[in-house]
C-alpha cells in the first residue's frame, strides 16, 4: 500500500523524466560510441570518410537488430529522435548568414537557386520513377540537392518520414558523398576547369561543407573559397525548401479546401531556424558564439540519429537499398550536369 501511495505522489515531471531516462541514456551511449569511432578513424586514416552521424545510425541499427530492447526504452528513443532533432535544426540556423549573397552576386545566386530547385524536382522524379515512396524520394532529393545528411535530417520531421526511410536516405547518400569527394578532383584535369569553375562545381555537387573543402583543395585557395561560398548559399536554400515542404505536407494532410494554420505550414523548429538565421545575419549573435552553437547542433543531430538507428529494422534498409542507390547515383549525375551547364551559361572564368 505504501508503494502505491508513493507512486501516486510522484510529480508529473519526475514521472516523465523516469520514463524517458532509459531511452535517452542508451541514445547518448550510442552517440558517444559514434564520436569515438570517428576519432579512431581520423587517427588511423587522417580522414573522415564516415561521419559520426552515419556511424550513430549504423550502431543504433545494429543494436536494434541484434538485441531485443524492452519497451521501456521506446519513450526516450522517440524523444531524442524527434524533439532533440528539432532543437538541433534551430541551432543550425545560427551557422548560416545571408551576407554570402552579397559576395556572390545576383547572377550566381539565381543560378544556385535554380540548380537546387531543378535538382530537387528531377531527383524526386527519378526516385518515384524507380519505385521509391513519396517521403523517401523527397528525402533523397533534398539530401542530394542541398546539403546531404543535414538536409535529410531537417526535412524528415517536416514530412513525418518513417525512421527506415531516413536511415536509408542518409546511409546511401553518405556513401555517395564520400565517393564524390574522391572522384571530383578528376574533373579538374579531365575537363580542364579553372580554379573558380572547379570551386563552383565543388560547391554545387558535394554535400557537406567539410567535404567541399576537401574536394576543392586540389584546385587551390581560390577554388576552396569559391566552393565554400557557393556551398553556403546552397545551404541557405534549406529554409525555403523546408517551408515549402511544410506547406505542401500540411495542405495535403488537411485536405482540399481546409484551412491551414501557420503552425501547420511552419512548425516551431522551422520558425526557430529562420529566426536564428536572421539574428546571425543581423549581427545579433556574436561570432564567438557561432562555433559552439554549430558544435551543439552537430552533437544533438548525432544523438537524434543514434535514436533513429535504435528505431530502425535492418530488413527495411535492405528492401529499399538498390532503388535508393540508383536514385542517388542518377540524381548526383543530373546535379553535376546542371552545375556544369550553369558554369557555361554564366561564363565563369
**Which strand (E) or helix (H) includes residue 322?**
helix 314-345
The Cα 208–Cα 25 span in angstroms is 28
**Distance of alpha carbon 310 from alpha carbon 295, whole angstroms:** 23
In degrees rounded to 5, what are phi and psi of residue 74? -65, -45
Residue with cell 545576383: 106
Compute the chain's Rg from CA coordinates.
21
Between the alpha carbon of residue 72 and those of residues 23, 69, 75, 104, the distances in Å are 7, 8, 7, 51
Report whether pLDDT(123) > 90.
Answer: yes
Query: How far apart are alpha carbons 193 and 279 in whole angstroms?
Result: 37
Dist. CA 42–CA 69, nearest whole Å: 31
Give me the pLDDT at residue 35, please: 94
pTM value is 0.68
Domain ranges of the chain: 84-346
pLDDT tens figures, 316-342: 556 656 788 888 889 999 999 999 999
* Chain center to CA of 4: 46
* Model pLDDT, residue 19: 87
Neighbours of 160 (CB within 10 A): 10
Please tell me the predicted confidence (pLDDT) of residue 253.
63
Q: Give the model's pLDDT for residue 8.
A: 52
**Residue/partner pairs of 179-183 with CB below 8 Å, 24 or more apart:** 180/205, 180/206, 180/207, 180/211, 180/215, 180/332, 181/206, 181/211, 181/214, 181/215
Write down the number of H helices and E strands in the chain: 19, 0
Burial of 49 by CB count in 10 Å (0-12 exposed, 13-18 middle, 19+ buried)? Answer: middle
Contact 76, 26 (CB under 8 A): yes
Retrieve residue 268's grid coordinates: 516551431
Q: Mean pLDDT over residues 296-311, rounded?
A: 87
Q: For residue 191, what is the DSSP state?
A: T
Q: What is the pLDDT of residue 30?
A: 96
Amino acid at each position: 500500500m505504501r508503494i502505491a501511495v508513493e507512486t501516486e505522489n510522484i510529480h508529473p515531471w519526475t514521472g516523465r523524466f523516469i520514463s524517458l531516462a532509459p531511452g535517452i541514456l542508451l541514445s547518448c551511449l550510442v552517440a558517444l560510441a559514434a564520436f569515438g569511432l570517428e576519432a579512431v578513424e581520423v587517427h588511423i586514416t587522417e580522414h573522415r570518410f564516415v561521419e559520426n552521424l552515419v556511424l550513430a545510425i549504423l550502431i543504433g541499427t545494429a543494436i536494434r537488430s541484434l538485441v531485443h530492447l524492452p519497451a521501456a526504452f521506446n519513450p526516450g528513443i522517440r524523444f531524442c529522435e524527434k524533439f532533440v532533432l528539432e532543437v538541433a535544426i534551430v541551432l543550425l540556423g545560427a551557422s548560416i548568414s545571408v551576407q554570402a549573397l552579397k559576395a556572390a552576386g545576383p547572377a550566381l545566386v539565381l543560378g544556385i537557386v535554380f540548380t537546387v530547385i531543378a535538382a530537387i524536382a528531377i531527383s524526386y522524379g527519378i526516385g518515384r520513377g524507380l519505385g521509391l515512396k513519396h517521403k523517401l524520394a523527397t528525402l533523397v532529393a533534398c539530401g542530394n540537392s542541398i546539403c546531404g545528411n543535414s538536409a535529410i535530417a531537417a526535412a524528415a520531421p517536416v514530412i513525418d518520414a518513417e525512421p527506415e526511410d531516413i536511415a536509408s536516405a542518409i546511409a546511401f547518400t553518405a556513401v555517395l558523398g564520400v565517393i564524390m569527394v574522391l572522384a571530383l578532383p578528376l574533373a579538374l584535369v579531365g575537363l580542364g576547369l579553372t580554379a573558380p569553375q572547379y570551386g563552383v562545381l565543388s560547391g554545387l555537387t558535394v554535400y557537406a561543407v567539410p567535404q567541399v573543402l576537401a574536394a576543392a583543395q586540389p584546385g587551390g585557395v581560390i577554388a576552396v573559397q569559391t566552393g565554400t561560398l557557393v556551398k553556403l548559399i546552397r545551404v541557405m536554400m534549406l529554409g525555403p525548401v523546408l517551408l515549402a515542404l511544410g506547406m505542401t505536407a500540411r495542405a495535403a494532410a488537411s485536405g482540399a479546401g481546409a484551412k491551414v494554420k501557420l503552425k501547420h505550414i511552419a512548425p516551431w523548429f522551422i520558425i526557430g531556424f529562420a529566426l536564428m538565421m536572421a539574428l546571425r545575419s543581423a549581427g545579433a549573435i556574436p561570432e564567438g558564439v557561432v562555433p559552439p552553437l554549430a558544435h551543439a547542433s552537430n552533437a544533438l543531430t548525432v544523438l537524434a540519429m543514434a535514436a533513429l538507428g535504435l528505431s530502425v529494422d535492418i530488413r527495411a534498409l535492405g528492401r529499399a537499398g538498390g532503388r535508393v542507390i540508383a536514385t542517388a547515383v542518377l540524381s548526383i549525375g543530373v546535379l553535376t550536369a546542371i552545375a556544369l551547364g550553369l558554369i557555361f551559361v554564366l561564363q565563369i572564368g
